Amino acid sequence: MDASTSIETHHEPHGHDAAHEHHELGWWRKYIFSTDHKVIGIQYGLCGLVFLFFGFCLMMMMRWQLAYPGQAMPVIGKWLPHIFGAGTMPDGKMTPDFYNSLGAMHGTIMIFAGVVPLAFAAFGNFVVPLQIGAPDMTFPKVNAASFWAFAVGGVIMMISFFVPGGAAKSGWTSYTPLAAFSDTGPGHNPVFNGQTLWLIGFIFLISSSLLGAINFITTIIQLRAKGLTWMRLPFFVWAQFVTAFLLLLAFPPLEAAIVMQLMDRVAHTSFFLPAGLVVNGAPVSISGGGSPLLWQHLFWFLGHPEVYVLILPAFGIVAEILANNSRKPLWGYKSLVFSVLVIGFLSFIVWAHHMWLTGMGSAVSAFFQTTTLLISIPSVIILSAFFISLWGGSIRFTVPMLFATAFLPMFGIGGLTGIPLAFNSADLYLHDTYYIIAHFHYIVAPGTIFGLFAGIYYWFPKATGRKMNDFWGKVHFWPTLICMNVIFLPMFLQGMAGMHRRWYDGGQGWTVANEHTIWGLTGFQWNQPISWAAWIMGLAQIPFIINFFWSIKRGEKVNDNPWEATTLEWTAPSPPPHGNFIHTPVAYRGPYEYSLPGSERDYTMQNEPVAPAERTRRKPPAEPVLV
Amino acid sequence: MEIPYTISTRPDTGLWNAKVGIWLFLASEVMLFGGLFSAYIFLRLDAAPGTWPHGLLNVPVGTMNTAILILSSVTVVLAWASLKMRRYRAYWWYMLATILCGVIFLTVKLAYEWPQKFEHFGAYIKPEALGKYEKYLGNQRRTEKGLEPRIEITGHLHSQNAKEYEVALDPVNAEPDNPAMDRPHFFPLPVTDKIANIEKEDVLRATMFLPTHNTYFASYFTITGLHGMHVLGGVLVFIYMWLPVSKKLYQRNPEHLANRVEVSGLFWHFVDLIWIFVFPLFYLL
């Protein structure tokens, strides 16, 4: 075995100190108000998973209304009014306002309280310091502050469901002037109303990711182990590095926008409100002179980099797992690194492709159309490199590998269906239809979330010392994969048939959704199979939930490197103690030295020195020959 | 467990951790204020003629505040340099000077400049009634000279009833045809004792100079408010570093305290720099 696991009786002063300090901490400091990056990572991970499931539940409720509009929801329909208030679901039937709340909060919670905390903060916190051989993050207290800011933001978002008027209902994008006037007027508190709480919650979430991003970048720059040069970093670290820059630089303009919308709502300014607005038949007393378009620009200045915040960590996770399970080096490591850097840069200058319909003018549109098409190039390079990495490998279909390989075609579908949207002439037709919903969900649901599942199955043994059950992992995987496609594939067709994404009745009252059939069903009728697939997918998560908690205590015990991986996190004990490593690691080689010619094992870890004999027989890593 | 490079520099990057961290933080702050300044530009370029006011702020007071902030940036560098030379006494005095500068700045802003605005009154006149108030607006002359029209009457609100506002006029409305009123004044002119009665049905919208008054004041209060919160944050950090608790850190490891002063000083310079943009954008242009 490798050096770290063979020495169990070793007590160097450093390790002893760490254990001593560890011992002194009480339960609260150790598990709740911890400054240890691993505990914070796990806290983020658990909260992120809970929010993901909650956001999914909101969607499962909406799917009832879409498939069976106006009908009372069976079973839970009776007690939902007791939770969310009598006005939301009278007689188990969903009101339009409540439907809008669910839609807006589904998007907000999934993205900002679910995927970002899980993909960036949880995996980044737990894995990055281990992968770079660091004892912790550079600023452990800031790290804890980041988590608690996130927790406060999440709680505020949840509280907003229970204030008079219910949670925010202007879509996750909160476009003005709609958002400036929703949840105002009689029966609403001036501050404790859905939209205002949404804004306040956001300020906390943004502060949280700001603190996290600073910590990640500093840690990667400053705390890399000796010998771990930039081009020896695992691809996952690179992905997190770029993600952190996106959060660092793209979120503040949204924070500025949120402060301004907050001023519009609380101090009655007119940052986003033009003069002459009429609300509910009465002209409103505002100074005017603001611009709704300004909100859209500031929102999408975050909104587009945010897409890459969601996908880049998943790229990183998938890269690690593909290399590990195909037992060969990741193909085109340098191209991958440069691609991810180019994506990071270009993602800042594509935002207005969300705004083709606003009439910005053809010159502006042409610019953003060009940059949008440019950004598809590095994305395609990354996906191609992943596919080629599989070429000629001896693939192990472990559970993480199943999710990682499924990620590739799913992300591929999501990415390629985005290209028509990059052209403003095609987008004018598809804008705000179910086509858009299908396109970005293919990227974030079977894309990113599969990456996250893969990561959970893959690093679970590092966090607990035990493996998650393989059989139940597969029971989780296959129905989830099938349901994802049954949910989202028909939505492309619905969208192309002209169905709008925000219809409260699922299209029942619209000619366009009822008159043409697609594969035997009308656009409206397609809602039923989609909804059933969503509910079955909800059930398919039960094996995962049980497997997750059961395996913490009772999963199969494994050694420190169960996947026979090469990167530094697998040299630490499982679970790693406070301070992580028994020996401060030193890196002697690149991250993916699988199947090194002449080596006894098919993996060579980063901390294994290069033997003199190896120098002479070593050839450049073999690239596959594509015939 | 010790985290490396908290005080000493990492050889290959030449930096200690907090210095990397603070520069990243400042980068994000640039984007935050960048977003706000972009909004300012966007709104100002889009403003309808006559809706973007000029010369409403007190330029001498703003100039003084600018000088105070710049001075505090100097004293914080001297404080840091004193620490580097291990002169704690000098550090203590320079730090105190920095804190006082910050406090004076905030006091001037919150206790003088802002309240003065809250007491000032402005009424936007409906387009169809502009002719009726020509003697306060002087638009005929302004049109001839190619200047933006005046659509607002400002001053001190003496009283109001159900039908009208009684306003002691600002000089600009008291002598609208005086060419001296075409440009803002460096020294603000006091409100005159000329009284105007403005009928409420001629008024589009009338408020005190609050954020809701127009987009200019909305941006002014939002940006200076956010800037003020940054100043307050900096002052609180400096107070912590000036208190006896930091003397203990100094005795244990002077370099550690010097590093702390350095990163908070960098933040302070940034806050200063933001003001260098705020001052011309709102006071002068």
Domain identity same for B230 and B102: yes
- On whether residue B174 sits in a domain, the answer given is yes
Domain identity same for B114 and B222: yes
As a residue count, chain A comes to 627
b/e string for B23-48 if b means 16 or more Cβ within 10 A?
A: bbbbbbbbbbbbbbbbbbebbbebbe
Q: Which residues of B touch A180 (CB under 8 A)?
A: none
Domain identity same for B114 and B125: no
Nearest to A288 by CA among B47, B129, B281: B47
CB distance A213–B35 less than 8 Å? no
How many contacts does A have with B, using Cβ atoms within 8 A? 151
Q: Which two tokens stand for residue A142?
A: 């800031």
Interface of B with A in 48-107 (CB under 8 A): 48, 51
- Those residues with Cβ within 8 angstroms of residue B87's Cβ, 6 or more apart along the chain or in another chain: none
- On whether residue B9 sits in a domain, the answer given is no
Domain identity same for B109 and B221: yes
Nearest to A364 by CA among A343, A350, A345, A344: A350
Q: What is the least distance, in Å, from the CA of B215 to any CA of chain A?
A: 6
- Residue B42 is nearest to which of A136, A251, A294, comparing CB atoms? A294
CB distance A252–B34 less than 8 Å? yes
Domain identity same for B218 and B160: no
| DSSP letter assigned to residue A7 | -
- On whether residue A13 sits in a domain, the answer given is no
Q: What is the least distance, in Å, from the CA of A234 to any CA of chain B?
A: 19
Domain total in chain A: 1
Q: Other C-beta atoms within 10 Å of A626: how many?
A: 7
Q: Which segments of chain B have a pLDDT < 50?
A: none
- On whether residue A622 sits in a domain, the answer given is no
First to last CA, chain B: 55
- On whether residue A565 sits in a domain, the answer given is yes
User: What pLDDT sits at residue A614?
Assistant: 78
- On whether residue A355 sits in a domain, the answer given is yes
User: What pLDDT sits at residue A598?
Assistant: 82
For B46, half-sphere exposure in the C-beta direction (CA atoms, 13 angstrom radius) is: 21
Q: Please identify which residue in the block is written with the tokens 């075409």.
A: B182
CB distance B48–A260 less than 8 Å? no
B195 touches chain A (CB under 8 A): no
Domain identity same for B143 and B278: no
DSSP alpha helix (H) spans, A417-469 = 419-422, 424-430, 434-443, 450-464
Query: Chain B residue with minimal CA distance to A286?
Result: B212
Q: Which residues of A touch B230 (CB under 8 A)?
A: none
Domain identity same for B166 and B25: no
Q: Which two tokens stand for residue A187?
A: 């029966």
Domain identity same for B36 and B52: yes
State pLDDT tens for residues A524-564: 999 999 999 999 999 999 999 999 999 999 999 999 999 99
CB distance B21–A301 less than 8 Å? no
Domain identity same for B220 and B80: yes
CB distance B222–A260 less than 8 Å? yes
- Residue A135 is nearest to which of B3, B16, B17, comparing CB atoms? B3
- Residue B31 is nearest to which of A249, A268, A294, comparing CB atoms? A249
What global pTM score does this model have?
Answer: 0.94
Q: Which residues of A touch B24 (CB under 8 A)?
A: 213-214, 217-218, 248
- Residue A290 is nearest to which of B3, B24, B43, comparing CB atoms? B43
CB distance A136–B1 less than 8 Å? yes
User: A580, A134 in Cβ contact below 8 A?
Assistant: yes
Query: Chain B residue with minimal CA distance to A219?
Result: B17
- On whether residue B2 sits in a domain, the answer given is no
User: What pLDDT sits at residue A625?
Assistant: 59
Range of the domain at A334: 21-274+287-617
- On whether residue A80 sits in a domain, the answer given is yes
Domain end residue (candidates: B207, B225, B258): B207
Domain end residue (candidates: B164, B188, B207): B207
Domain identity same for B77 and B127: no
CB distance A267–B211 less than 8 Å? yes
Interface of B with A in 215-244 (CB under 8 A): 215, 218-219, 221-222, 226
Q: Other C-beta atoms within 10 Å of A353: how many?
A: 22
B245 touches chain A (CB under 8 A): no
Domain identity same for B112 and B235: yes
Q: What is the least distance, in Å, from the CA of B194 to any CA of chain A?
A: 27
Q: Which segments of chain A have a pLDDT < 70?
A: 1-24, 616-627
- On whether residue B5 sits in a domain, the answer given is no
Selected residue of B17, B259, B274 to mutate for chain A interface (largest A Cβ count, 10 A) = B17
Q: What is the CATH number of the domain that holds A168?
A: 1.20.210.10
- Those residues with Cβ within 8 angstroms of residue B31's Cβ, 6 or more apart along the chain or in another chain: A248, A249, A250, A251, A252, A253
Interface of B with A in 124-153 (CB under 8 A): 124
> At A106, is the secondary structure helix, strand, or coil?
helix
Domain identity same for B105 and B53: yes
Q: What is the CATH number of the domain that holds B237?
A: 1.20.120.80
User: What pLDDT sits at residue A623?
Assistant: 60
Domain end residue (candidates: B207, B235, B262): B207
CB distance B212–A267 less than 8 Å? yes
- On whether residue A1 sits in a domain, the answer given is no
State pLDDT tens for residues A97-147: 999 999 999 999 999 999 999 999 999 999 999 999 999 999 999 999 999
CB distance B215–A287 less than 8 Å? yes
* Torsion sign (Cα): A418, A340, A219, A46: positive
- On whether residue A320 sits in a domain, the answer given is yes
Domain total in chain B: 2
CB distance A136–B5 less than 8 Å? no
Range of the domain at B191: 121-207
CB distance A263–B27 less than 8 Å? no
Q: Which residues of A touch B47 (CB under 8 A)?
A: 289
CB distance A285–B10 less than 8 Å? no
Q: Which residues of A touch B29 (CB under 8 A)?
A: 252
